[in-house]
Structure 1
C-alpha cells in the first residue's frame, strides 16, 4: 500500500524547496528553505523583499517579512514554522511567565513593568487551533494624558502623572456641572469631563402699583444713600404720602402672611 500525501502540503513543500533559489538581486545571499513553509521573494519598488508563510497546523516564529538591505544582507534571520505551539506571546512594557515555546493546553501568566498596569486578562491558554484565549493583554501607562477642556471652561494643573489632581473652572456667566476635582488613577481620570452651562438670569418682576415702582427704584441702586434718595423722589413723583406708604406695607404684610398659610 502506498501512503497517501496531502497534495496541497506536498505542493507547498515543493515550492519551499524551489524558493531556495537566489533572490532577484544577485548581490543578496541565497535564502535557505523553511521547513513546513514557503518563502516568496519579490522585488517591490527596487527593494528585494522576502515573505514567509507556514502551512496549516504550523505557526510562524520570527519576522514574517524581511528585506535585503544596502549592505546586501538580509535584515533579519530567516523565520521558522513550528508545530503544536502557539505564537510567541508579545507583551510590550511587560513580560509573560515563560519565554519558551508554549504547547497546546498550556497556560501562561503576564505582568507589566513598573509604572504600567495590565489591561485585560492576567493569563491566557494555548488552544488546539494555536490561538490564545483569553486574548493577550496590554500594558498601559499608569500616567494620564492631558485632560480635555469643556466648552467655556478650563482646568488648572500641570502634572498628569498617576495620583495627580486637576481642578476644572468655568468662564463668567457659566456654572460647572460635573466633578470639579479629578484624579489620575491607573492611567484614567477619575470622572467624566464636566460641562459648563450658561447661567439663566431670572426675569425682573414688572412693577404693578405706584408703591412697587418706588420700591423697584430703591432696589435698582446698590448705594444705600442714593437708593433712599431715589425711593423718596419716586414717592413724590407719584404723589404718595407716608401714610399711604404705611398702608401699602400693611397690605403687603397681610398678603405674605396669607401666602404662607395657604
Structure 2
C-alpha cells in the first residue's frame, strides 16, 4: 500500500491536539479557499450542506424522498488530497422501494394479482372464495397489507378457512345477545344467569379462529 499523501492543510484534525493556538490559526488560514466541487441533489432526493458552503472540512448529507432508499454513503466529507479539496466518496443514489409480490393464499385471492411490481405504500386486499359446502370461508388475519419502507409487506397474508363454533349451552342461565343457529368466526354471545345464580367466567364469549369459544362458556352457580 502506498504511503498516504502529505496534507498541506491538516486542520481540522484530531491528530494535533497539542498544537499551540497560533499554529492552529496559521494552519487553518492556509486552508482558506480550498473548496470541493458542487454536487447536485440526487434524483428523487436532496443533498444538504452542513453549514451552507463547499469549503474544506464541511459535510454534505444526503436524504431520499418518500418511497426511495439510499444506496451509498449518507454523508460525504470535504477533505484534502494533496493540495486539492475533494469529497470523501462518490455521491449516493436514491433507489425506488419495491416489494416482492404478496403471497397467494388457499381458498382466496388478492387485488392487483396481475401486477409484477409493487412500490412503496402499494396495498393489496384479500378476499375469500365462495365455499363449496354449506359453511362459508372466514378470513383470518388482516385483509389488507401494504409495501413498507424496508421493502417488506406490513404483515403476513391472511388465511381463508371454515370456522364454526359449537352451539353454546349454559345451565341455569341464558343468552341475551348473539342468537343464531350457527356461530362463525368472531360471532359474539353474551349470557346472564337465572335469578339466584351468579356467573363464573366471562359473560361474553367470541368464536375464535380455531373454532372454539374464547374465553370458554361460563357457568352459572348458586
- What interval of TM-score do these two structures reach, taking the shorter chain for normalisation? 0.3 to 0.5
TM-score, reference length from structure 2? 0.36
Larger Cα-atom Rg = 1
Q: Which has the higher helix share?
A: 1
